């Protein structure tokens, strides 16, 4: 073999092995070309599993009545895009979501993702709290394999139900290598949203999920995901949170800010033993004086961690802006919505009570 042949062979070997090496560096082995991905569908209820009295019933239906087997049977096309298996983890309307359901779901997701025969997970879920479950899992799932949460705005019995196409797209996305390492994804209406930013914005319309100013991550189109952005914040395998040995989470609640607000809810949560309070303040997380700020100062003196968030929906809550956070020993939520700040604060409290360390977590996740 002459030199140039030898060099060509070396390049050929390198080019074949390189993609494999790259994927292995994410901790997720490359899939054999032409092989269907193994996707596990975990069902939790919601409108995607809901039924109404007639095909035109799109409100006033009952959520969480159809089991996972029927959900899968209703979309025979799933078999052409992945080897799917289903499991009913629980069956609830997602307004009834709680910390215990989250822990159960997270443990099941982590156990399944450790298996070599699971390439990705789809979770069917109600849309009311889908964004919260997504962010919780985004912080506690210990794998880079895709986790896609999907719901529907119309029940399964409705004319133009959106569940089947959303489930079909979610299964493709969960089986795709493009979704590896992107964090937990929320998919409805052909739009791929990241867990940290996504929020429900319309009570009834199928086009309801937005990531507001920071934007969604990509589209599903013609059986393929197209990604255009990804989160700069740490998630999944790169977080410090571990729920494997937890059965409960620290008590954290949200107090909503509004004109004429009084201190009653803050005092009630403190009396009930809360470890943390998220204040969904007006504007830049402003605190009403004299009613609210003194109540939060009193709460902090009793050891409760205070996070200043905003009800506005966009923008950074500025540290030491609308309150003297350094002096009062408060934390700010950065751009997290109050409901997601509550989740991060609960998980932060499983690690530390140090407000500086907690503040750093809000700038990290
Ligand atoms: N209330 C329902 C739920 O969150 C709404 C839905 O799924 O769209 O379970």
What is the phi/psi pair of residue 227, to 5°? -95, 140
Ligand 1: which atom is nearest the Cα of residue 50?
Answer: 7
| Ligand 1 pocket, Cβ-based, cut-off 6 angstroms | 46-47, 63, 93-95, 126-128, 151, 153
pLDDT value at position 27?
73
Three-class secondary structure of residue 39 per DSSP: strand
Q: Report how far residue 335's alpha carbon sits from residue 340's, in angstroms, rounded to the nearest whole number.
A: 10
**Ligand 1 pocket test, candidate residues 95, 130, 155, 158, most atoms within 8 A of CB:** 95
| Residue 335 bears catalytic tag | no
130 has a pLDDT exceeding 90: yes
Are 287 and 308 a contacting pair, CB within 8 Å?
yes
Distance, CA 154 to ligand 1 centroid (Å)? 9
Q: Which of 10-14, 63-67, 109-113, 142-146 has the lowest mean pLDDT?
A: 10-14
- In angstroms, what CA-CA distances link 240 with 236, 257, 342? 9, 31, 17
Atom nearest to 153 CA in ligand 1: 8
Confidence of residue 32 (pLDDT cuts 50, 70, 90): confident
Lowest model confidence (mean pLDDT) among 18-32, 107-121, 180-194, 278-292: 18-32
- The whole-number pLDDT of residue 33 equals 81
pLDDT of res. 28: 84
Q: How far is the CA of 118 from the centre of ligand 1 (A)?
A: 27
pLDDT the model gives residue 14: 47
**The pLDDT value given to residue 318:** 98
Active-site position among 44, 47, 157, 239: 47
What is the per-residue pLDDT across 42-63, written as a single tens digit (0 to 9) for each?
A: 999 999 999 999 999 999 999 9
Q: What is the pLDDT of residues 172-207, one digit of tens each?
A: 999 999 999 999 999 999 999 999 999 999 999 999
- Which of the two residues, 16 and 161, has the higher pLDDT score? 161
What average pLDDT does this structure show over 156-174? 97
Note the pLDDT tens digit of each residue in 149-160: 999 999 999 999
Residue 21 has what pLDDT?
47
* pLDDT for residue 6: 54
Give me ligand 1 centre to Cα 203, in Å.
10
- Output the CA 230–ligand 1 centroid distance in Å: 27
Helix (H) or strand (E) holding 149: strand 147-150
Residue-wise pLDDT for 312-337, tens only, equals 999 999 999 999 999 999 999 999 99
How is residue 118 annotated by DSSP?
-
**Residue closest to 26 by CA, chosen among 244, 181, 249, 227:** 181
Residue 22 has pLDDT above 70, yes or no: no
pLDDT beyond 70 at 11: no
pLDDT tier at 252 (50, 70, 90 boundaries)? very high
pLDDT band of 24, cuts 50, 70, 90 = very low
Residue 150: its H or E element: strand 147-150
Which tokens sit at 145?
A: 């394999």
User: What residue owns the CA closest to ligand 1's atom 7?
Assistant: 126
């Amino acid at each position: 073999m002459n030199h140039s042949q030898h060099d060509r062979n070396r390049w050929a070997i390198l080019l074949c092995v390189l993609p494999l090496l790259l994927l292995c560096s994410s901790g997720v082995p490359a899939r054999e070309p032409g092989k269907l991905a193994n996707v596990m569908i975990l069902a939790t209820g919601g409108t995607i599993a809901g039924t109404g009295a007639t095909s035109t019933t799109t409100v006033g239906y009952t959520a969480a009545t159809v089991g996972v087997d029927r959900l899968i049977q209703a979309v025979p096309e799933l078999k052409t895009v992945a080897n799917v298996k289903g499991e009913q983890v629980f069956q609830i309307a997602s307004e009834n979501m709680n910390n215990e359901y989250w822990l159960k779901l997270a443990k099941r997701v982590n156990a399944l993702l450790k298996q070599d025969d699971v390439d990705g997970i789809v979770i069917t879920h109600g849309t009311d709290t889908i964004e919260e479950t997504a962010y919780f899992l985004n912080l506690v799932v210990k794998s880079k394999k895709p986790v896609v949460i999907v719901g529907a705005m119309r029940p399964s019995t409705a004319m133009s139900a959106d569940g089947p196409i959303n489930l079909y797209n979610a299964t493709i996305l969960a089986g795709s290598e493009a979704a590896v390492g992107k964090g937990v994804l929320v998919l409805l209406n052909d739009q791929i949203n990241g867990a940290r930013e996504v929020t429900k914005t319309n009570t009834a319309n199928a086009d309801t999920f937005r990531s507001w100013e920071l934007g969604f991550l990509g589209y599903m189109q013609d059986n393929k995901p197209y990604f255009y952005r990804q989160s700069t914040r740490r998630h999944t395998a790169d977080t410090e949170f571990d729920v494997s040995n937890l059965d409960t989470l620290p008590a954290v609640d949200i107090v909503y800010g509004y004109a004429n607000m009084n201190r009653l809810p803050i005092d009630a949560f403190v009396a009930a033993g809360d470890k943390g309070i998220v204040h969904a303040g007006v504007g830049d997380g402003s605190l009403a004086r004299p009613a609210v700020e003194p109540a939060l100062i009193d709460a902090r003196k009793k050891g409760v961690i205070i996070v200043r968030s905003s009800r506005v929906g966009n923008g950074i809550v500025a540290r030491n802006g609308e309150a003297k956070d350094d002096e009062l020993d408060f934390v700010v939520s950065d751009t997290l919505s109050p409901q997601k700040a509550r989740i991060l604060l609960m998980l932060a409290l499983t690690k530390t009570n140090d407000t500086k360390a907690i503040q750093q977590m809000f700038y990290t996740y």
